[in-house]
Structure 1
Amino acid sequence: MADRFVYHCTLRWSDLDAYGHVNNSRFLTLYEEARVALMFAGGRAWGVGTLADGVVIRRHEVDYLRPVDYALGRATAAAAPTVRIELWVEEIRASRFTVAYELYDGDVLASTARSVLVPFDLGRRTPRRISDDERTFLLSYAAAGGSA
């Protein structure tokens, strides 16, 4: 497998449900935050800013393996707890790509997910093909044996 993109995400009080766990719907927000960091910061660091210009979600798939508690002795007045999200590109097609994720609560895998993304021309309001530069960037995070 190529390098994974690793993102440490601070949990927010608003992420919680009535039971003190991270709400199931907020997992998508956490995954989004990591994905945006990959495409905006990571892409621009590679000299590829076009993924930040327009990508839409075609599909999400999330598996919840265990609850993520907000505190568990980790939250202090000085620091909120964090989760670690590792993501990589699982598949690249001509006009879409799939990002896979793992969310860790400490060293424990709490959730896995996949998102199918489509590059999108916001001005024309139409999907577009992945450019050669985008493909090269995405391949740097591609899983070994995945479709590229």
Structure 2
Amino acid sequence: MRWGDMDAYGHINNVQIVRMLEEARIGAFGPPRGAGLPGVQPQVSLFNDVPDGIMALVVDHKIRYVRTLEYRNVPAVVQVWIGAVKGASFDIHYLVQDPVTGEDCVKASSHLAFVDEATGRVQRLTPEQKERMAPYRH
């Protein structure tokens, strides 16, 4: 959490929560291809291991704010896992917890798909991609 992430009430602003989800997703599964070297080694290289011209795009986010996440001078705890895996898309789930109290603050998910940059068409997940996701499914 950063000082600038706070809103006028001293809570982490909802827009910054989405940024935190993105950082957790990249930390767990790697940055998109062409984004440079990751700051941390991902648990599984999912997004930067795609062919040239394929983009990993967020289709939508669902966010439920269970309780306010107070600003702390330490990182929030974010659990990340893969949920439903379909033919051409998949879900990543998040649980954001207060780093001091351990209380659940945000429950969220992102629905993603791989898209051909030239045609804009959604690409079916390969057996290899599904296999890489399997250990992280709940």
TM-score, with length taken from structure 2: 0.80
Q: 2:24 aligned with 1:34, yes or no? A: yes
Counterpart code for 2:50: T
Q: Which has the higher contact order (CA 8 A, sep 6+)?
A: 1
Cα offset, 1:14, TM superposition: 2.2
Cα offset, 1:125, TM superposition: 3.0
Question: Aligned partners of 2:9 and 2:107: how far apart in 1?
Answer: 21
Question: Aligned partners of 1:91 and 1:109: how far apart in 2?
Answer: 22
Question: Aligned partners of 2:64 and 2:14: how far apart in 1?
Answer: 10
Question: Aligned partners of 1:111 and 1:13: how far apart in 2?
Answer: 19
Q: Is the 8 Å Cα contact of residues 43 and 49 (structure 1) preserved in structure 2?
A: no
Runs of 4+ more than 4 Å apart: none
Q: 2:49 aligned with 1:49, yes or no? A: yes
- Structure 1's unaligned 5+ residue stretches are 1-10, 76-80, 144-148
Q: 2:128 aligned with 1:137, yes or no? A: no
What is the root-mean-square deviation of aligned Cα atoms in Å? 2.1
1:121 pairs, out of 103, 116, 125, with: 116
CA shift digits 1:87-120 (9 cap, x unpaired): 1111000100011110011211111001110112
Counterpart code for 2:132: F
TM-score, with length taken from structure 1: 0.75
> Number of residue pairs matched?
123
Q: Which position in structure 1 is the counterpart of 2:39?
A: none
